[in-house]
Amino acid sequence: EKNNNFSRLIDQNPFKFHQQEMIYFHEPYPQINSANELSLVCYYSTQNDHLKGIYGGYDSNNEMCQAFIYYYPKVESFPLCLSLPVYKNKHLMNNKRNWTNKLSLYIKDELES
Structural contact between residues 52 and 99, judged by C-beta atoms closer than 8 angstroms = yes
Q: What is the pLDDT of residues 42-64, one digit of tens each?
A: 777 667 666 666 666 666 667 77
pLDDT tens for each residue of 2-42? 446 777 888 887 777 778 788 888 888 888 877 777 788 87
- pLDDT at residue 87 tops 60: no
Do 1 and 7 form a contact (C-beta atoms < 8 A)? yes
Query: Following DSSP, what letter does each residue of 5-37 receive, concatenated?
Result: TEE------S--GGG-------SSPP---TT--
Higher pLDDT, 89 or 59: 59
**pLDDT higher than 70, residue 80:** no
Rounded Cα–Cα distance for residues 17 and 34 (Å):
33
